[in-house]
Amino acid sequence: MQNEISKETRKLLLIVMIAGCFFSTLNQTLLNVALSDLMVIFDVKPTTIQWLATGFMLVNGVLVPITAYLMKRFSTRQLFISSMVFLLVGSIVAACAMNFGVLLAGRMIQAVGAGIIIPLMMTVIVFLYSVDERGKVMGKVGFAIIFAPAIAPTVAGFIVEYMSWRWLFIGLIPFVAIIILVAYKYLLNVAEATKVKMDGLSVIYSTVGFGFLLFGFSSAGSRGWGDWLIVTIIVLGLLVTMLFCQRQMSSSDPLLNLSVFRYKMFSMTTIVNIAITILMYADLILLPMYLQDGRGFTAFEAGLLLLPGAIINAMLSPVTGKLFDKYGAKPLFIVGMSFIALSMWAVIDLSSSTSYAYILVRTIILRIGLAFITMPLNTAALNALPRELVSHGSAINNTTRQLAGAIGTAVIVTIYSMQLTKISIETSEGYVAAVNTTYLFMFVVALLAFIVVWFVPRNKKEANKKLSN
């Protein structure tokens, strides 16, 4: 495949897909700092407004497990343009929303497009580029996957403070429309559609199982872990997910091929990926809480603090991609986790007088660490798999990330809320103390991940080794 498509065509294909991925990923966290304002505008409670985030994650999480099937059934061009059309239609519906129900519907439509694009792009890269080139290419892709959610709070904070909330959606429309037009004219198929049979029961199992788990963990932070509905939904989600896994392992043509976990590198990077996702999602929630509730900063000021780190991250991502091709995964993982663990340790003793500059430098350190580990993790995982399992590995990677994000967010919010209740002081000092305790937990997670990376395979031969023969 690499030899059949010219270098210029591959470059154009990559630019179009990165642009689509950038706006899909940006949209995923764009509403986070606007939720408080939208709650007032639409006169809804916190448990209702959170569905703008939870619902998006649910649709994503339910759709991602079937992307391996979709990539067989539909061509690259069909899938990419369809995902962008869903994002465009969802943005238009949300921008025109006159009530919360319509806004939520638009958000759900957006999520359909976002759920397809990332696993599709990962698979396309593996098909287009050789093993020795993928690190550099994935580094460029890291610009979209890491940079977009990092600048989203800054962009959203500015829009909420100086413009109408509708511009959170209106601003996406022209960019997505241009991407659709360019893709329609220039995008080539990496893989053609084939007629494959869908396992309906597996789709039902994955939808119910992953959907219940995501809903249960996403709602646990607000409703509490002792809530009977939450406990019931999580238990049912686990049981149905077990049925799904059992069916995949016994099927000759599984919807999601779990044999990818037989490869040592894929299994190890999945564990690290879970920890990194928890830390990244948690920091994006905790830091604004500290700055806004504990220090009285505006949403825009809180978002602005993330911008320097995001820019440095974007600049470093292509560099770390080249380093990956030259030195392999393990050295980058160790460097990355060292920076991440240091950044978590730096915020376990915050106070109401900690300087803005200190938090800024600490956030830059975190973003440097993420640049060294996030995309190399995905590249190392997919490089270890044979080509026929790449689409399944990509889908599993993204499903795991969605679940880790939901579980991590729920755990972090619970720890923060419990600590705040224990202190019984809803003052700036109380909020700061609750944040410190939560960051201590995150530091422990970072240390555990740092230990795991030392067991990651060193070379290609060991990376491609199966856990069982």
Question: Do 104 and 55 touch, CB atoms closer than 8 A?
Answer: yes
d(CA 106, CA 194): 31
Those residues whose C-beta lies under 8 Å from the C-beta of residue 7, and which sit 6 or more positions away, are none
What's the whole-model pTM score? 0.79
Rounded mean pLDDT of the chain? 83
Query: Does 1-198 match 257-469 in CATH topology?
Result: yes
Listing DSSP states for 25-92 in one string gives HHHHHTTGGGHHHHHHHTT--HHHHTHHHHHHHHHHHHHGGGHHHHHHHS-HHHHHHHHHHHHHHHHH
Please say whether the beta carbons of 222 and 95 come within 8 A. no
CATH superfamily, domain 257-469, is: MFS general substrate transporter like domains (1.20.1250.20)
Q: What's the chain's length in residues?
A: 469
> Which residue from 392, 29, 408, 64 is spatially nearest to 209, judged by alpha carbons?
64
Give the integer Cα–Cα distance in Å for 128 and 1.
6
The residue extents of the domains of the chain are: 1-198, 199-254, 257-469
Alpha-carbon gap, residue 369 to 361, rounded angstroms: 13
Between CA 148 and CA 11 the distance in angstroms is 21
pLDDT band at 469; cut points 50, 70, 90: very low
Residue 221 pLDDT grade (very low, low, confident, very high; cuts 50, 70, 90): low
- Residue 243 pLDDT grade (very low, low, confident, very high; cuts 50, 70, 90): very high
CATH architecture of 1-198: Up-down Bundle (1.20)
Taking the mean position of all CA atoms in its chain, how far away is CA 161? 26
Write down the residue that tokens 């099927």 correspond to.
251
Widest CA span in the chain: 66
**For the segment 256-282, what is each residue's pLDDT rounded down to a tens digit?**
888 888 888 899 999 999 999 889 888
Tokens coding 251: 């099927």
3-state SS string for 334-392: HHHHHHHHHHHHCCCCCCCCCCHHHHHHHHHHHHHHHHHHHHHHHHHHHHCCCHHHHHH
